[in-house]
A and B are shown apart, each in its own frame.
Chain A
Amino acid sequence: MIPTAKDFLGAIWPPFRHKDDALLTPYYTFHDYRQIWGMGIFILMAAALLPLLVMTLIYYQLTEQSIDREAILRTERVASNARRAVTYFLEERLAALTFTVNEMGYDRLTDPGRLKEVLSNLKLGFGGLTDLSVIADDGTQVAYAGPFNLEGKNYSTQPWFMECKQSSACVSEIYLGYRDVPHMVVAVKSLRADGRFFILRATLETERLIQTLDSYRTGEHADIFLVNHAGVLQTPSKYYTGPDQRLTLALPPYSERTQSLVASDAAKRAVVIGYAYIDTKIAATSFILMVVKERAGMMKVWLDLRHQINWFLAVSAVIITVVIILTSTFMVNKIFHADREKAKTMMLAESNAQLASIGQLAAGVAHEINNPLALINETAGYIKDLFLIEDRYKDDTEMVEHIDSIIEAVERCGTITRQLLGFARHFDVQVQPINLKRMVDDVVNFHKKEAEYRNISIHVDIPESIPLIETDRGKLQQIILNLVNNAFQAISNGCFLDIRAKMDDAQHVCLFIRDNGCGISKDHLNKIFEPFFTTKKEGKGTGLGLSITYGLVKKLSGNITVESQTGEGTTFMVRLPIRMEKEIPS
């Protein structure tokens, strides 16, 4: 069978309802199957998905932490390496100047020819040197070698000069100076023979320093630069340059060692910062080396992985959900149907028990009533006899009529009690082989005259293949007779009656008695086997025929069911065992 949309809907949203639920409801073990179904799905989902989600979250956290740590360490390492390079760059130059100052002394250095020679030697050794100058202790430049003629210029107000005066050497910040080219000054102090100090000053191009720093820039959105203690950028920053060359990031706190931390930039993005306060062995500097990487960029690999994990998680969750829903639906549906069957059986059993107890009660009452009824009958009969025999009453016809009405009433009561007794017959069931076809033919023959008279066609179709049935002849005859009688009362002239039989299985035979009469309404359908239920006019029927038939069928270990459509007709189905058990409860 091809599954339809309805089947599919039923598989994920089962109805748990049936037309006859109202009757069955009291017999169900569970009442809210929708709730059981929902609870089942919820519990299974929670049990299956919760550990999955928790594990994933823990995994996320651990991986994120380790990647974070790794990123910080890596940044710190880069910062550390860059610091070493910058420190080395400055120390190398300071050491060369110190060496020159100590080796040559004030007198030789102030000789312009010698100073020029020293400059060209230093240029050869390190490169990136613009000029050299010797400055006296009052700040006046006394000798100069380089492309600009700056002799006689006074530096006493320059910060680097003041700093150099205090200590033995200094490194200036990077500034544009008179020539509008970024450069920095390194200077060392030495003493002249007369005890006064002088300073040897070199101007360095920062190009090489910037190149060195750039070589440590790795990865996307990475930035490396120098900044002074006041937060002014010393070398260009790709991303964090603010107005007046100020750094847009907060300055990290002072630390002797290379450090790293996670901070956020002006746009509130998380950044990993590795930094070092740069100090050379010879002179302190105001530089802070900073390596800045955007955290998101460093986490990209992890984010990609997380994307995949999320997909995997989503797909698994969907599969688990579908499997759980289908399984729950299947299981709860099974329970529901089993419960429904049970409820049906219980309802049937209860109505059977009701019919049986009504039957027993009725039979008991009928039997007790029959004896006094018989006495009334005979007494009234005797009085009538006397009236008919004795001459003095012979002409009193009114009296005889009264007595006749007593006798008629008794007769009517007798009919009822006899039928009531049909519920609980004390006669044994006598099992004998019976030809069903012959028996049906016999019963139909009883009605032949009436059928002809009323123009009712009777059609009997009982195949020869039906075996002999071992059952009680009289009871079966009565069953068929009652059902045919019943049908004759239900149909109007010109209708038909159809009697068929077929094997239901190897052990049971089904007899169908179908008419196209007035039918039975739904309200009446489940009452028709109840005693005293009749739709006939008062006084016309006892309401016992079908309930007796029901009892008889039960006695023969069979079943009787009825199907009917108002206005279309009624079918009674009697299902009997081929071989009846001899042990029958009375």
Chain B
Amino acid sequence: MKVLLVDDEQKFALMLAKRLSLRGFQTDVFFAGEQALKAIDEEGRRYAVGLLDVKMPGIGGIELGRRIKALDPAMKIVFLTGHGSDMDYQVGASEADGYLPKPMKIEDLIDTLNRLKDEG
């Protein structure tokens, strides 16, 4: 299962990518929304799930998610954010398929990914 991870917090992104790889998810990491869009749009890369940080310089996570959906409607989008909330309902705030507040338990992330894999 191919996973896209976009986060401007580089160390966090790399660390999370390593952990996902250890769990069998092939993860591509980008530190900015523009790079990720370029990879999808120009290089034609495809991912099952996109893990997007909401607050990033340049294209923000919500906007990035919208554009990715436009390019690849089949791709699932999960937001990660430091603007955390313990409320499930806020997932509905965007058209996201999932929502995880940072810091999150790796188990929760894996559960979400597995759920989306099952749905997809």
A: residues with CB less than 8 A from B are 366-367, 370-371, 373-379, 381-382, 385, 389, 410-411, 413-415, 417-419, 421-422, 425-428, 430, 473-474, 477-478
- Given the contacts A381-B19, A382-B15, A374 and B103 also touching, CB distance less than 8 Å: yes
Residues of B within 8 A of A411 (CB): 103, 105
A373 touches B85 (CB 8 A): no
B18–A382 CB distance below 8 A: yes
**CB of B60 to closest CB in A, whole Å:** 11
- Roughly how many angstroms separate A421 CA and B102 CA in the complex, as a whole number? 12
Query: In whole Å, how far is B11's beta carbon from the nearest beta carbon of chain A?
Result: 5
Contacts of B9-29 to chain A: CB distance below 8 A: 9, 11-12, 15-16, 18-19, 22
Tell me, in angstroms, the Cα distance from A373 to B105 when the chains sit together: 12
Closest to A476 in B: B89
Residue pair B86, A370 in contact (C-beta under 8 Å): no
* 12 A-B contact pairs sorted by A residue (CB < 8 Å): A366-B84, A371-B9, A371-B102, A374-B104, A379-B11, A382-B19, A411-B105, A418-B85, A421-B84, A422-B85, A422-B86, A428-B93
Q: Is the CB of B82 within 8 A of A367?
A: yes
Given contacts A371-B9, A374-B9, A382-B18, contact A410 B103 (CB under 8 A): yes
Q: Which of B9, B11, B12, B90 contacts A427 (CB 8 A)?
A: B90
Residues of A within 8 A of B84 (CB): 366, 370, 414, 417-418, 421
List B residues 88-105 near A (Cβ within 8 Å).
89-90, 92-93, 101-105
Most buried by A among B22, B101, B102: B102
Knowing A376-B103, A385-B19, A389-B22, say if A425 contacts B85 (CB, 8 Å): yes
- Known contacts: A411-B103, A418-B101, A474-B90. The answer to whether A378 contacts B19 by CB under 8 A is yes
Interface range, B side:
20 to 34
CA distance A414 to B18 in the complex (A): 22
The docked-state distance in angstroms from the alpha carbon of A473 to that of B103 is 26
Q: Chain B interface (Cβ within 8 Å of chain A)? A: 9, 11-12, 15-16, 18-19, 22, 82-87, 89-90, 92-93, 101-106
Chain B: CB-nearest residue to A376: B103
* Closest residue of A by beta carbon distance from B10: A375
Known: A414-B103, A427-B90. A374 touches B19 (CB 8 A): no
A407 to chain B, nearest CB (A): 8
Contacts of A425 in B (CB 8 A): 83, 85
CB closest chain-A residue, reference B89: A474
Given contacts A374-B104, A377-B102, A430-B93, could you give 8 more A-B pairs where the C-beta distance is less than 8 Å?
Answer: A367-B82, A371-B102, A374-B82, A375-B9, A385-B18, A415-B86, A419-B86, A422-B85
Question: Which chain A residue shows the least CB distance to B106?
Answer: A381
- CB <8 Å contact, B93 and A421: no
Partner of A478, one of B11, B16, B19, B87: B87
CB-nearest residue of chain B relative to A422? B85
